[in-house]
Structure 1
């Protein structure tokens, strides 16, 4: 059993978060044979991941930079921090609403280009300001695709701005549904959101099923004066389809956090440099959440906010040793484990078994000591991916 864990950090992890790790942990970018990895944006797909690795925690919501499937096959959980940066992204989405509605970016650029003295500038302003006339938000309909931590906050905030809000998320959790204002209308399909909304904002993770979620066919269903906001991931919206629609006057504008050459030079696009979670508060919140989740898993086997493991929280019982076992989600694994423990004369004081997709995870508190011999037998069971004594 390991008491002092080694944690390798990638990127600059907020010291506020690192302070949540016990002092005896070895933590830093040069740590060798780590038990845990704390990462933000660094891509781990091409990194050598040592056999010592027990868990990966990403200080952020998306895990595209982490080889989740490979780690799952090794019985290694991957943690993220949903909701930790939700307020930061929500505020930027609201800023995007105003930028689009009032043509603020092109107006500011035009003003900066004015020459002459103050009197000449005043004349130019009175003549030129009409080209930047916008619209007000109250009464307009905002379509929110994805009602997770960020989507719910955006929807609720838009209501308070006087907007009508329609939301679509066939996989909304019970917890998020409780947080959602009852005035948010429920859409039964993606098409319904697109056809009914003046502004559409996407808040879904980038996975195979959401890549190109808003493509040419979907954009064609939108209103000609509609605006699209994307502060989620670049691949969710087909930027070529957006540019074509803007050029054909089939969309009013596009505001996103992911610039490309074509987007940054388009007069109807506001492309920001991936600022969604770029606040000191969000970075601290994400680092704290990631560090705490990694610490709790390493010390107690607790699983919270994993993208590949089921939630698993079991209070410790004094005087017991704990087994944490990840295995393929197949029948009779718990039965085999229980039988082996019983045959070794070990009493189970408490047990928790959860599953998620193809992975099952079991926490077992056993009275007395767990000998290495029984650990070796359990680890050799077909289907066991990882096993730890805590």
Structure 2
């Protein structure tokens, strides 16, 4: 019986698809097999001894101690692409908001309350203050062509924009999904220097933190409009405010409001609404539950941030799962122990991601607790599990 600890508001109807004879769900397990959550902070959480996996119903995992999980052989899943359409729609809305001064115009129109019959005349007189360009025919630079970036690129191209994208790590699947009207930027600097609008869709890590800075703003066209639905830390706020002051940036739309950005008329702060749709929340939860179910029942890994994707068709027999530090002769040591105990391997797959290796072995024979302990004792092994 697998115990699933849930945090945040995960739809019960989705969790109910888990077979009741195999799973218990709750919010107060002391030693769960798996955790499913949204934004609940686990950074200072004491990881239970029995914990095998954590699934984040969303893309970001900055609320999960990923490094500690890896050391303990705990698989961390996220749900890339499940909220992509929701974010895409907000990016499109942001393109219009940044161009047409809609937000400022609405606030001004509301300020006319009490003017009576003069309102219509005042509107006609004042509307020119909120004039802005159409997006059709303008160049949109997309930084990052993952699930969201591809959807934004195709939608913007369909709206008549000239779209260029930059992503040195674009996947084959993403490339196949791109419209033929989307052009490849020769470099990041080329994208920044030639775009009328820029939208950012890259992860925040040690290599990307603060990458949109004073040096990059200096390359941009005067009056550029920037949309950031990825992460606030990608843009250096101090340098952004300088770029607004000198006229380089005419509008910045961000889904990550910070105190220093809230009193500038050229900044539109959106309260982190990118994935805040019922459809997105449902899609993320469904994917997270599916990832946990496949891993707990079959050992299959897909969409993990710290383990490699690894799948071997499961016939329902005895399956051995081993995680290890990715160093030479790990597989040899595991198979030697099995062979010395007359355990036959009927199917096997090995994969690695960075410094983490993962093995699925379908075996025939009596895999005793002593055998499991011998494999666990191999220097560099972080997890051993048997599925029967």
TM-score (norm 1): 0.97
CA separation in 1, counterparts of 2:20 and 2:270?
39
1:369 shift after superposition = 2.8
Kept after mapping to 1: 8 A contact 2:140/2:163: yes
In the alignment, what sits opposite 2:363?
366
Kept after mapping to 1: 8 A contact 2:137/2:162: yes
Q: 2:37 aligns with which of 36, 39, 47?
A: 39
CA separation in 2, counterparts of 1:167 and 1:17?
36
CA separation in 1, counterparts of 2:39 and 2:125?
46
Q: 1:232 aligns with which of 226, 230, 235?
A: 230
CA separation in 1, counterparts of 2:16 and 2:93?
33
1:70 shift after superposition = 1.1
Local SS of the residue matching 1:361 = strand
1:117 shift after superposition = 4.3
In the alignment, what sits opposite 1:166?
164
CA separation in 2, counterparts of 1:40 and 1:22?
22
1:99 shift after superposition = 0.6
**Structure 1 residues 258 and 30, CA, compared in 2 at 3 Å: closer, same or farther?**
same
Is 1:326 the counterpart of 2:318 in the alignment? no
CA separation in 1, counterparts of 2:225 and 2:19?
48
Kept after mapping to 1: 8 A contact 2:139/2:196: yes
1:188 shift after superposition = 2.6
After superposing the two structures, state which structure 1 stretch, 14-23 or 152-161, moved more.
14-23
**Structure 1 residues 347 and 115, CA, compared in 2 at 3 Å: closer, same or farther?**
closer
CA separation in 2, counterparts of 1:278 and 1:238?
25
1:346 shift after superposition = 0.9
Q: State the Cα deviation string for residues 347-388 of structure 1 (Å, max 9, x = none).
A: 101001011110110000001331111111111111101000
RMSD: 1.1
Structure 1 residues 98-177: aligned runs within 5 Å: 98-177=96-175
CA separation in 2, counterparts of 1:181 and 1:6?
44
Local SS of the residue matching 1:381 = coil
In the alignment, what sits opposite 1:300?
298
In the alignment, what sits opposite 2:17?
20
**Structure 1 residues 16 and 167, CA, compared in 2 at 3 Å: closer, same or farther?**
farther
Which structure carries more relative contact order (alpha carbon 8 Å, separation 6+)?
1
Unmatched 5+ stretches in structure 2: none
Kept after mapping to 2: 8 A contact 1:20/1:292: no
Q: State the Cα deviation string for residues 245-304 of structure 1 (Å, max 9, x = none).
A: 112212110011111222222111110100000000100000010011011111111000
Kept after mapping to 1: 8 A contact 2:345/2:364: yes
In the alignment, what sits opposite 1:282?
280
1:340 shift after superposition = 1.1
CA separation in 1, counterparts of 2:162 and 2:31?
53
Kept after mapping to 2: 8 A contact 1:17/1:289: no
1:116 shift after superposition = 4.1
Q: 1:218 aligns with which of 191, 210, 216?
A: 216
CA separation in 1, counterparts of 2:193 and 2:301?
40
1:10 shift after superposition = 1.5
Structure 1 residues 179-198: aligned runs within 5 Å: 179-198=177-196
Q: 1:97 aligns with which of 85, 95, 98?
A: 95
CA separation in 2, counterparts of 1:67 and 1:22?
29
In the alignment, what sits opposite 1:85?
83
1:244 shift after superposition = 1.7
Local SS of the residue matching 1:252 = strand
In the alignment, what sits opposite 1:345?
342
In the alignment, what sits opposite 2:204?
206
CA separation in 2, counterparts of 1:42 and 1:213?
28
